[in-house]
A and B are shown apart, each in its own frame.
Chain A
Amino acid sequence: MAEDIKVDSTLDCKGLVCPEPIVKTNMVIKKLQVGQVLVMESTDAGATSDMHSWAKRTGHQLLKEEASGNVLKFYVKKMK
C-alpha cells in the first residue's frame, strides 16, 4: 500500500469508548462516496479489534492502521 493515501475525511473519536467509535465511523462512511477514504482517530484500546470486525461485516476496507502514543488511526476505504 502506498504510504500517501489520499484522505477525504477525518473523524475524531479520541476520548470516546465502545460503541461510539464504530457507530460514528459508520455514520460518517455512509456520507462518503464509494472509493473515498476516512481516517478515524481513537484512543480506545478496544477499537483495533472492533474496527477489524466492523470492516469484515460491513465490507469496507481497512487500508492501514497507525499508532502514535495512545492515538490509533484507522484508514478506511468505502467499498459500497
Chain B
Amino acid sequence: MTDKPKRIALIASKGTLDMAYPPLILATAAIAMDMEAGIFFTFYGLDIINKHKYNSLKVPPLANPAMPVPMPNILGALPGMTAMATMMMKSWMNKANVTTIPKLLDMAREGGVKLIGCQMTMDVMGVKKEDLIDGVEIGGAATYLDYAVDANITLFV
C-alpha cells in the first residue's frame, strides 16, 4: 500500500518458554503482513537462539500464579518442579497445536526476520557465535537502535 514497509523492532530479554513465544509470533505475523521484523536477543533472551538450548526452554513454576494448574510456591521450589511444569505446558500447547519454538525460528528465518544476538550478553555468558543458530547477526545496542529508529512498533519482551 505504501512504498516504505512498516517495521516492528522487538527485544527478547527472557529465556523461558512462555516468554520466547510473543516475540517470535509477532515477528512471523509481521512478515506475513508484509512488514519488516527484527528481534534483538539480549540477556536470557539469547537462549532462544542458542542451538544447545532453544529446544529445551523451560517454564518456571515458582512465583508464577498464572499456571493453568496453580502451584503453591512452596511446591514450585521443589527439585523437579520446573521440569514438571514445562512438561505440562508443552503437553497443553501440543494439544492446542501451538507451533514449537524451533519451528517458529525456522519460519522467522525463512521470512527474513532480522535476528540480532547481543554481543555483550555473549561475552558475559561465554556464548560463541557457533553456539547460536544459523542466520543470526551479532551486534550491540547501537545495532538495535539503528534498526528500531525506523520502526513503527517497538516492544520489549
Binding site for B on A (CB under 8 A): 15-20, 22-23, 25-27, 50, 53-54, 57-59
With A18-B25, A19-B25: A54-B33 Cβ-Cβ less than 8 Å: yes
Q: Across the interface, do B33 and A58 meet the contact criterion of CB distance under 8 Å?
A: yes
Beyond contacts A16-B97, A26-B34, A59-B1: 13 other A-B pairs, Cβ-Cβ < 8 A, are A17-B99, A18-B29, A23-B28, A23-B29, A23-B32, A26-B31, A26-B33, A50-B29, A53-B33, A57-B33, A57-B34, A58-B1, A58-B34
Q: Which residues of B contact A54 (CB under 8 A)?
A: 32-33
Q: Which residues of A contact B32 (CB under 8 A)?
A: 19, 22-23, 25-27, 54
Within the complex, the shortest CB–CB distance from A51 to chain B, in Å, comes to: 11
Q: Across the interface, do B98 and A23 meet the contact criterion of CB distance under 8 Å?
A: no
Q: Which residues of A contact B107 (CB under 8 A)?
A: 23
Q: How many A-B residue pairs have CB under 8 A?
A: 42
- Check if B66 is an interface residue, CB within 8 A of chain A: no
Q: Which residues of B contact A16 (CB under 8 A)?
A: 97
Q: Which residues of B contact A22 (CB under 8 A)?
A: 29, 32-33
Interface residue tally for chain B (C-beta within 8 Å): 16
Which of chain B's residues has its CB closest to A80's CB?
Answer: B1
Q: Which residues of A contact B99 (CB under 8 A)?
A: 17, 19-20
Within the complex, the shortest CB–CB distance from B131 to chain A, in Å, comes to: 27
- Check if B111 is an interface residue, CB within 8 A of chain A: yes
With A18-B25, A59-B1: A23-B31 Cβ-Cβ less than 8 Å: yes
Q: Which residues of B contact A58 (CB under 8 A)?
A: 1, 33-34
For the complex, what is the distance from the CA of A57 to the CA of B152, rounded to whole Å? 13
| CB-defined A-B contacts under 8 Å, sample of 20 | A17-B96, A17-B97, A17-B99, A18-B29, A19-B25, A19-B99, A23-B28, A23-B29, A23-B31, A23-B107, A23-B111, A26-B31, A26-B32, A26-B33, A26-B34, A54-B32, A57-B1, A57-B33, A58-B1, A59-B1
For the complex, what is the distance from the CA of A20 to the CA of B32, rounded to whole Å? 9
For the complex, what is the distance from the CA of A59 to the CA of B34, rounded to whole Å? 10
